[in-house]
Amino acid sequence: MMNIGVVGYGYWGPNVARNFHSCPGAKLTMVSDISDKRLGQAQSMFPFIKVTKDALELVRSKDVDVVAVVTPVIMHYEVAREALLAGKHIFVEKPFTTTSDQARQLIELADKKGLKIMVDHTFLFTGAVRKMKEIINSGALGRLLFYDSVRVNLGLFQHDVNVIWDLAPHDLSIMDYVLPKEPIQVAAHGARHVAGSKIENIAYITLRFADETLAHFHVNWLAPAKVRRIIIGGSKKMLVFDDLSPDEKIKIYDKGLKFRETDDSELRQALAGYRIGDMYVPNIETTEALRRETDHFLECVRTGARPESDGDAGRRVVRILVAAQESLARNGAFIDL
């Protein structure tokens, strides 16, 4: 039986607690939070657990084998480090840490102690994102040309992190998972619309790769209607992921470039035309992503396998967030990764 402790019982913590508790062979044993009210909620939902305001008590408790760190990002590193030092496997909310260096330290520490790290990149466990990866891996799209991601809606303003740190981890972790290559440069533009705030509520991020692939992300807390869409252009086919569509989340278009000779120079015609074919919507599995994810992590702990969103995946995402932040501060300049 694996004993689970959850640090942080705010918005997302109860979901993490519930899902770990429902995994076969696992049991929630402790919850920690700084709020008495939230501890009361945890206790009422799980009468058999121990609750504490002291995160250290939890991470060092011998009744805990796995620590889920569901605190604000600023505290991830400290709590995760103490948990690893106490010999616990860790499941850390995204983004993993606030600096790449912190991420590297945690990864090294876990390796040294033979412990597992999993970063909660929940989207990687949805049927739609797994289908995207499967399609890209199959080579069906051909050479990857561009990756365009939009995640906008009327969302709550955070007062401790900007829209890049709040929303982009979702999209960067998806891209990191489905693309078989890593970006080399980042630029970001943003704006702040709340008087007196130093926090960007809209941002555009551009990523360059070693080849001519271009990736771009639009994240926005102030849009009137939700858009959650990724367009991936390939030389053979193209893919659209619309996360808001109830039953057509992934569309694969048999469309692409077609080169042809032109003989009508006076018309200054196109050198390249296009090809239009059928479109195809694969059926997507609909099991709950978080449940699939907690199962996967516990399986990795048991078998020693590497989690699909391990510490290094967490670090790669953090590295881009940090560079994007630096680009914002440097007037949108491209920052090397």
257 touches a copy of itself (CB under 8 A) = yes
Find the binding residues for a copy of itself in span 55-74 (CB under 8 A). 72
Find the binding residues for a copy of itself in span 289-318 (CB under 8 A). none
Site string for a copy of itself, 216-245 (x = CB under 8 A): x-x-x-xxxxx----x-x-x--xxx---x-
Cα–Cα separations (whole angstroms), residue 162 to 199, 235, 335: 5, 35, 19
Nearer to a copy of itself, 109 or 335 (CB): 335
First to last CA, the chain: 42
113 touches a copy of itself (CB under 8 A) = no
Question: To 10 degrees, the CA torsion angle through 78, 23, 292, 286?
Answer: -140
Strand 250-253 to 89-92 pairing = unpaired
Find the binding residues for a copy of itself in span 178-217 (CB under 8 A). 187, 189-194, 197, 202, 204, 206, 212-214, 216
12 touches a copy of itself (CB under 8 A) = no
Nearer to a copy of itself, 87 or 142 (CB): 142
Contacts of 245 (CB under 8 A, 6+ apart): none
Coil/strand/helix, residue 105: helix
Find the binding residues for a copy of itself in span 23-62 (CB under 8 A). 34-35
329 touches a copy of itself (CB under 8 A) = no
Question: Which of 180, 261, 263, 267 lies at the binding interface for a copy of itself (CB under 8 A)?
Answer: 267
Binding range to a copy of itself, per CB under 8 A, among 20-28, 95-103, 172-180, 329-337: 329-337
What's the rounded Cα separation, in Å, for the pair 145 and 143?
Answer: 6
CA 45 to chain centre: 28
156 touches a copy of itself (CB under 8 A) = yes
Question: Which of 60, 251, 291, 306 lies at the binding interface for a copy of itself (CB under 8 A)?
Answer: 251
The CB-of-301 to a copy of itself minimum distance in angstroms stands at: 27
DSSP 71: S
What's the rounded Cα separation, in Å, for the pair 91 and 87?
Answer: 13
Instruction: Read off the tokens for 66.
Output: 């796995």
